[in-house]
Homo-oligomer: A and B are copies of this chain.
C-alpha cells in the first residue's frame, strides 16, 4: 500500500473534529473504518501519528508532518478538481437560490462568497420565498435551488441534505419554562408563539411538534426577521422555535436563553431542493459541497446527514 489522498483527508478531518467518531461522521464512514485505516497508515509510516489518550487528539511529529503535507496537497487537489470541472463543460450556469427563513443568511452568504471565487461564471441570485410557492417555481425553472427543512416528495425534485440541527425554543432570560431541561408540547399551551410568516402547514413546530400532541398555543404572531423575533422574545412578548445555530450568537451574547424541544431531542434537517436533472451538474455539486463545508466551519452544533433526502 501507499499513502493516498484519502489518508490526508482523514488526517485533516481528524484534526478538525478532534475525534475518530467525529471525523468518521463527516467523512460518511464508520468509526471502525477509520480506526482500521489509521492503523494501516501508521504501519505504513512506521510510527504512531497521534495520541488517542488525550482530548482533543494530539498529533505526533509524524502526524504533524503528514498534516503539513495535507495542507499543501488538499487545496491543490481541490483547485485542480475545479479546473477539471470547468474544462469538462458545465462551467457556466445559473444558480437562483431561494430561502424560506432569514437565519439562513448566516451560513448561506459566506458560502456564496466562497463559491463565487471558484465559479465566477455561474450567475447567482438569492430571493426570499415568503411571497410565492418556491417548489412550483423550482419546477417551472424560475429558480434553481430552494433551501428547505420540509422535504415533500415531488416528481422531478430531489432533496440534497445539507446538515442537521437541533430545534430549540428561545425564551426570555427569566422565563419560567427555563426550569425545565426539555420543552414538551403542552408547555406551549399558554404561550405566544412567534413564527416566520409562512403557511401554518409548512411550519415544523406545528406539523411535527404541536399538532401531533393536539396543542394550540394561546397566541401566535409572525415576524420576518430573526433579529426582530428575538427582540420580541427578550422583551417577553412570546417565545419562538429556531434552529440551534441561528440562536448561537444570541445565546453567546446572553441576550436570550433557550431549551431543546422534547420529549427526545428534536433534530431537523436542512435540504437543498433541486431539479432532478440538474443533480449531476458540476457547478451544482460544487455548490452543495461548498455550502456544507462552510456551514460546518461556521456553525456550532450541527451534524452531518448520512443519506440523501427523498428523490
Interface residues of A (CB under 8 A from B): 2-6, 45-47, 61-62, 65-66, 68-69, 72-73, 76-77, 80-81, 83-85, 87-90, 282
Complex contacts, A66 vs chain B, CB 8 Å: 80, 84
Structural contact, A3 and B81, CB atoms closer than 8 A: yes
Structural contact, A76 and B69, CB atoms closer than 8 A: yes
* Distance from A68 Cβ to chain B, minimum over Cβ atoms (Å): 7
- Could you say which of B5, B62, B81 contacts A87, with CB atoms under 8 Å apart? B62
Structural contact, B81 and A77, CB atoms closer than 8 A: no
- Could you say which of B62, B69, B87, B90 contacts A77, with CB atoms under 8 Å apart? B69
- In angstroms, Cα B5 to Cα A73, docked, is 10
Complex contacts, A4 vs chain B, CB 8 Å: 4-6
Structural contact, B3 and A88, CB atoms closer than 8 A: no
Structural contact, A80 and B89, CB atoms closer than 8 A: no
- In angstroms, Cα B46 to Cα A89, docked, is 8
Q: List 20 A-B contacts (CB under 8 A).
A: A2-B6, A3-B5, A3-B77, A3-B80, A4-B4, A45-B84, A46-B84, A46-B88, A46-B89, A47-B84, A47-B88, A62-B87, A65-B83, A65-B84, A69-B76, A69-B80, A72-B72, A72-B73, A73-B73, A73-B76
- Could you say which of B62, B68, B73 contacts A88, with CB atoms under 8 Å apart? B62
Complex contacts, A87 vs chain B, CB 8 Å: 46-47, 61-62, 65
- In angstroms, Cα B6 to Cα A73, docked, is 14
- In angstroms, Cα B76 to Cα A282, docked, is 28
Apart from A65-B80, A73-B73: 11 A-B pairs, beta carbons within 8 A: A3-B80, A45-B84, A46-B87, A46-B90, A46-B282, A47-B87, A65-B83, A69-B77, A72-B73, A72-B76, A73-B76
- In angstroms, Cα B73 to Cα A76, docked, is 8
In the complex, residue of chain B having the shortest beta-carbon distance to the beta carbon of A49: B84
- In angstroms, Cα B152 to Cα A245, docked, is 71
Complex contacts, A84 vs chain B, CB 8 Å: 45-47, 62, 65-66
Structural contact, A77 and B88, CB atoms closer than 8 A: no
Structural contact, B80 and A68, CB atoms closer than 8 A: yes
- In angstroms, Cα B3 to Cα A248, docked, is 37
- In angstroms, Cα B77 to Cα A85, docked, is 24
- In angstroms, Cα B129 to Cα A194, docked, is 91
Complex contacts, A45 vs chain B, CB 8 Å: 84, 88
Complex contacts, A80 vs chain B, CB 8 Å: 3, 65-66, 68-69
- In angstroms, Cα B48 to Cα A84, docked, is 11
In the complex, residue of chain B having the shortest beta-carbon distance to the beta carbon of A81: B3
* Distance from A140 Cβ to chain B, minimum over Cβ atoms (Å): 28
* Distance from A278 Cβ to chain B, minimum over Cβ atoms (Å): 15
